[in-house]
Amino acid sequence: MEEATHSHHIVLLPPPGFLGHLIPFIELAKKLVSQYNFTVTLIIIPHDSEPQKSLLQGINPTTTNINSVFLPPVSIDDLPDDLNPDVLLPSRVIRSLPSLRHALSSLGTPATALVVDLFAVHAIDVAKQVGIPAYIFYVIAANELLLAIDLPKLNHDDHSVKLPGSIELNHEDLPDSVKDKNSEFRRWIVDLCSRYLLADGILVNSFLDLESEAFQELERRRPGIPPIYPLGPLIRTGLETESDRGTEILEWLNNQPPKSVLFVSFGSGGTLSVDQFSELGLGLELSGQRFVWVVRAPQENVSAAYLNAQKKDNGNKSKDPLEYLPPGFLERTKDRGLVVAGWAPQIQVLGHGSTGGFLTHCGWNSILESAIFGVPLIAWPLCFEHKMNAVFLTDGLKAAIRVKEINENGIVERGHVSEVVKQLMEGEEGKIIVKRMMDVKFAAANTLSQEGSSSKALAQVVRKWIN
């Protein structure tokens, strides 16, 4: 196709403070520059700016055509302390719209198009005001896009929702936006989702072979919804480094047998309660399997921890998560387990030959990374859309075993943890999942090839931008 020139300038607007969304935006920017010669500007709405800046600094310094602009910070101190995190993100966006419009008008090269996050869709109004097309980059699953489009007609009392591919979500697995009875929260989310229909197109970080039924249903609904472009899987590229911990983990993995290690991580902010933290550790020990476990200090409010959504610093210093391990745990498991605090180079761990399974919170980035490397999964969803993803993984994709046995206190006990881990790593069900994930791995590689469906979808949307 015709190559773009640097005069074609795409502006990307990720959400404030949500690092799991910023990563695919950065990867999209890299593709637009390397494959299509675009100039790309990432406009950043500040919130906990240091992690944002760290990710942006990881962009190859030779990539001179990716720029970042930080908008002035906005205050949200007047909002209620108990405001739902799903509302907090678009609130920051709305308050940043005047600064966004000024930034768009101040660019040296006028923007060809504006691409916004699913939580930043109010910025579509600004794009229309300045006369440029606006697209949404939906960085999570196509199934969730379908649910969002249908949200205005769903009732919070619905006991289940059916999705394409014979996937049925029970009430407990629905996102809070569907089942919450709070009229104010629901009004916010319905307004957010209704704005998806205002976009000139929706880019989705997924691929046809992963969610074929969902994409077929989205296509069936055209022209009632914007054009859909499956561009994924876009995952973090380049080496992840943070002090010497990454090297230590990879060297430890080098000394383990092939496909023998379970990687245990709950994402960039996922935490467990104190009791659940202990039961997970004892379950890993009881399983007898090798593991790398990324631990964070327990916290009862899982959703607030995951989004880093607290508006005010309460002054508490984070405690060492190793202090919460069962007494004697490190000594008893030292020959077959590695516990690391806070961070691990997840991409490199999942791609390592010794990694044979992944216990995950079911965040979409983690699912796509597992797909690319063909790693079988244990689904342990925490909050937000994670439970919905877990249903898709087990009932739709059939690529995971889900942790299900929860006691009256909401705790997954050590015996069930051990059982699920052993089943994935050495059981018959685990062998079936391994084969399924290898098929997914090959499909992911094919879709990103030059003639693959995701490459063609990106070329299609680029053609619209430059013509």
Collapsing DSSP states into helix, strand and coil, what is residue 28? helix
CA distance 26 to 233: 13
Q: Which residues are catalytic?
A: 21, 117
User: pLDDT, tens digit, for every residue of 301-330?
Assistant: 655 555 553 333 333 345 889 999 999 999
Q: Tell me the C-alpha distance between 159 and 155, whole Å.
A: 9
Beta bridge partners of 377: 358, 400
| Three-class SS state of 31 | helix
The segment(s) of the chain belonging to CATH 3.40.50.2000 are 9-232+449-466, 245-444
| CATH number assigned to the domain covering 245-444 | 3.40.50.2000
Q: Tokens at residue 256, please?
A: 């383990």
Q: What is the value of pTM for the model shown?
A: 0.93
Among candidate residues 122, 123, 173, the one with its CA nearest the CA of residue 147: 173
Rounded to whole angstroms, how far apart are CA atoms 9 and 115?
A: 11
Q: What is the residue-level pLDDT of the chain in tens, covering all 467 positions?
A: 555 555 799 999 999 878 889 999 999 999 999 999 999 999 999 876 667 777 787 776 555 789 999 999 988 888 877 777 777 888 899 999 999 999 999 998 999 999 999 999 999 999 999 999 999 999 999 999 999 999 888 877 777 888 898 899 998 898 877 777 677 778 888 899 999 999 999 999 999 999 999 999 999 999 999 999 999 999 998 766 555 778 899 999 999 999 999 999 998 777 899 999 999 999 999 999 999 999 999 986 655 555 553 333 333 345 889 999 999 999 999 999 999 998 899 999 999 999 999 999 999 999 999 999 999 999 999 988 899 999 999 999 999 999 988 888 889 999 999 999 999 999 999 999 999 999 999 999 999 999 999 999 999 999 999 98
The residues, ordered by sequence, that sit 6+ positions from 210 with a Cβ below 8 Å of its Cβ are: 232, 233, 371, 397, 440, 443, 444
State the fold for domain 9-232+449-466.
Rossmann fold (3.40.50)
